[in-house]
Amino acid sequence: MIRILVVDDHELIVESMKAILSSQNDMLVVGGANSGNDALVLARQYKPDLIITDVYMPDGDGMMLTSKIKEEFPGIKILALTIFDDDKTVRAMLDAGVDGIISKDLRKDNLILAIKNTMSGMSVMDAKTFAKFKEIVQSPAYKDQQIMTKFEINMTELSIIRCVSQGLSNQSIADQLFISESTVKHRLALLMERFGVQDRVQLAVLAAKNGIL
């Protein structure tokens, strides 16, 4: 039996969701909430297997709720329900740790399937959201963010590494990045020390090997 908590600031959606899920023999709706704070209280009380939550609510949002739930109860699965599919929303929900993102206009049978797939350990997205996710992860900005997180560098340092790999002088890098030449020298020295290389050529080779360019 899958024990489910439904969260949405519209009571009609909560009740509709309850009716749909209660018709399933292997699903039990343990509660419904209209805010993130109420949902947190119910989650602590009932410890459901799955929370279906709206993304935007008056007293907070699904991102905040997801972060708190995952921190307190990492075993609880979270399925985000949204009418938004913009880059910011999708990325924020994924960063918060949701197990799936589906559209509010998803058909009943697809909703049931999404719940079962989520509980089986799959990452779930409807077609429209997946298209947006694919667009995000293929974007240069997303790839840059992944590189910066992996190597613990900021955007300026990433730009310096790429400029060095292009053979630019310190002054040329400074002009291109609108920073002083002394700043370039200082950042470059720190980068070489951090990556354990002796010169610019070694730094460029390391960058090429690790997909930083």
What domains can you pick out in the chain, each with its CATH number?
2-137 (3.40.50.2300), 140-209 (1.10.10.10)
- In this predicted structure, what is the pLDDT of residue 55? 82
What's the predicted TM-score (pTM) here?
0.62
- Give residue 164's Cα distance to chain centre: 31
* Positions of the chain with pLDDT lower than 70, given as ranges: 58-60, 84-87, 126-139
The one-letter code for the residue type at 198 is Q
Question: What pLDDT is attached to residue 104?
Answer: 81
pLDDT tens figures, 122-161: 877 765 665 666 565 566 777 787 788 888 899 999 999 9
Identify the pLDDT of residue 159: 92
Helices (H), the chain: 11-22, 36-46, 62-72, 87-96, 108-119, 127-137, 140-151, 155-165, 170-177, 181-195, 200-209
